Amino acid sequence: MGRAKRMERVVALTKQLTDHPHQLFSFSYFCKKFEIAKSTLSEDVLAVKTGLELYGLGRVETLAGAAGGVRFIPGRSAKEDHDFLQDLAIKLSVPDRILPGGLLYTTDLLCIPDVVVRLGEIIMKHTRHLEPDCIMTVETRGIPLALFVARAFNVPLVMARHSSQITEGSAVNINYVSGSSKMIQTMAMPKRALQPGSRVLMVDDFMKGGGTARGMLNLAKEVGAEVVGKAFMIVTAEPENKMVDDYTALFMLHSVNELENKIFIEPVQVKE
């Protein structure tokens, strides 16, 4: 086996592993694909693992045994994540983002692929131990974030709606009270979207009172799914008591001051 050939194979192995985060590939799959012996594959896998880890670009895990194989887990170093979130906090603090009513405009950042890929991977990292088998969100603004969390976990996304859709068949509907506005709202989910017993990680871009989150929680329970975790990009400092507890958040929004034209938002210190 010449040197160039090995290099090309390792490039392809890198691409295929990193393209499918969390997917466990059997050793025999790659042995067959590359027409190589298992010992050679082991060396190649080690090269990918070392290369990615050396440059802080994620981890490669190998599992031994009959059900074993190799998989890629995305994620950067704690320092890189911290720097990324710090930088994003600065972007989120630009006074232009203040909307009437002391709201914060964030949609643009949530729709930049490079940004939301990283956010998705960071949320995955912090919630990985919960082992969700699907990600749930409610339309609309949280969808990009939730989708990239789903991508990082390699599990499907389930989207709740504010009304049931003819194009999605029969639905489960619940009513809930929005935490901040105290208005009664509806949330719906196609019956076929979520299986009973699913391990659901709820993801949304923003939480203030937690009413919407509570609604999602109830909707998931309604179909017999188990909500194993809740993750938000931004939570507000006020009100301190939310309608859901035990959640992961990346940013704490302390205040949006329309008069002084100032936003105070900072990354939440997460324990590794």
Nearer to its own copies, 28 or 181 (CB): 181
* Nearest distance from C-beta of residue 107 to its own copies, angstroms: 6
* Nearest distance from C-beta of residue 243 to its own copies, angstroms: 19
* Nearest distance from C-beta of residue 51 to its own copies, angstroms: 3
Q: Give the closest residue to 172 by CA, choosing from 153, 189, 159.
A: 189
Q: Give the closest residue to 229 by CA, choosing from 81, 128, 86.
A: 128
Sequence-ordered alpha helix ranges (H) in the chain: 3-19, 27-34, 38-54, 78-92, 107-110, 113-127, 143-153, 211-222
* Nearest distance from C-beta of residue 256 to its own copies, angstroms: 12
Nearer to its own copies, 54 or 66 (CB): 54
Nearer to its own copies, 170 or 241 (CB): 170
Q: Give the closest residue to 254 by CA, choosing from 102, 84, 29, 67.
A: 102
The answer to whether the beta carbons of residues 218 and 246 sit under 8 Å apart is: no
The answer to whether the beta carbons of residues 225 and 255 sit under 8 Å apart is: no
Nearer to its own copies, 4 or 66 (CB): 4
* Nearest distance from C-beta of residue 267 to its own copies, angstroms: 21
Neighbours of 6 (CB within 10 A): 16
Amino acid at 97: R
Amino acid at 85: L
Nearer to its own copies, 65 or 101 (CB): 101
Nearer to its own copies, 144 or 267 (CB): 144
> Which two tokens mark 110?
């949530």
What is the C-alpha to C-alpha distance for residues 245 and 252, in angstroms, rounded to an integer?
15
Strand 226-236 and strand 103-104: the pairing is unpaired
Contact residues: its own copies, CB under 8 A: 3-4, 6-12, 14-16, 18-20, 47-48, 50-52, 54-55, 57-58, 99-101, 103-105, 107-108, 111-114, 116-117, 139-141, 143-144, 147, 150-151, 154-159, 161, 165-169, 190, 192-193, 206
* Nearest distance from C-beta of residue 271 to its own copies, angstroms: 27
